[in-house]
Structure 1
Amino acid sequence: MDFKRVKTDTVAVTRNIHKVMEPTGNIYESVAILSKRANQISLEIKEELNSKIAEFAVPNDNLEEVFENREQIEIAKYYEHLPKPTLIAVHEFLNDQVYFRNPHTESQEL
């Protein structure tokens, strides 16, 4: 998913608890799903950022040269302005863009 194109809030806002628990029927289950999805998003963003910064890295760089590399600074600033992974996860969850299942309830139905 392209997280740069997600149109969500960049700051935390108060959510209606009933809307959050509506897909699962349980607020704790919803929060667990949000947590797992936020961790997935965070790892994807971190891997993407590290790969872009690694393109500019030279094995013999010392600390002063790393801070003076303008391209790396611009890339880092860009990623700092993205919405936080938790906000993206909440946006996806409330817009039914997250697939989830509970194996315990599925085994009881069988």
Structure 2
Amino acid sequence: MDLKKTDAPVSTITYNRNEIDAATDNIYEAISVISRRAEQINTDIRRELIDKLEEFATYNDSLEEIFENKEQIEVSKFYEKLPKPHALAVKEWLDNKIYHRNTEDPQP
């Protein structure tokens, strides 16, 4: 997922309930799928951020010495400005980019 090219909203917006549950005809099932995808996105973003911040990590025993690294601050600010994982998941859901199936339905 390319986080720079996403057009998911950064702030909270109201969605049409009928658009959300159109694919499943059940709002609770749709929200369940979206929430699982949001958890996946959150895990991916967190892993990516930790990997990038590990590059700047300096290990020393002194708590008095704290170094501010401009690159580390830039990376942190970039991730703070990203849309939240739930907004990304809802955008993917509305764009039909999330594959889902009901395991209780008979297979054709």
| TM-score normalised to structure 1 length | 0.89
Q: Distance in 2 between matches of 1:45 and 1:56?
A: 17
Give the equivalent residue in structure 1 for 2:6: 6
Amino acid in structure 2 at the alignment position of 1:36: R
User: Aligned partners of 1:31, 1:60: CA distance in 2, in Å?
Assistant: 45
**2:11 pairs with 1:32:** no
1:56-75 maps to which residues of 2 (within 5 A)? 56-60=56-60, 62=62, 64-66=65-67, 68-75=68-75
1:78 aligns with 2:81: no
Q: Which has the higher helix share?
A: 1
Structure 1: give runs of 5+ residues left out of the alignment. Answer: none
Secondary structure of the residue that 2:57 maps to in structure 1? coil
* Alpha-carbon shift at residue 62 of structure 1 (Å): 4.9
Give the percent of matched residue pairs that are identical in Structure 1 and Structure 2.
Answer: 43
Rounded Cα–Cα distance in structure 2 between residues aligned with 1:48 and 1:62? 27
| Structure 1 vs Structure 2 CA RMSD | 1.6
Runs of 4 or more above 6 Å deviation: none
The alignment of Structure 1 onto Structure 2 pairs a total of residues equal to 107
1:4-44 deviation digits (Å, cap 9, x = unpaired): 21112111111000110000110000000010000000000
The CA deviation at 1:59 is 2.0
Question: What is the letter of the counterpart of residue 82 of structure 1?
Answer: L
Amino acid at match of 2:86: T
Alignment-mate amino acid for residue 69 of structure 2: N
1:69 deviation in Å? 2.0
**Given the alignment of the two structures, is residue 99 of structure 1 paired with residue 76 of structure 2, yes or no?**
no
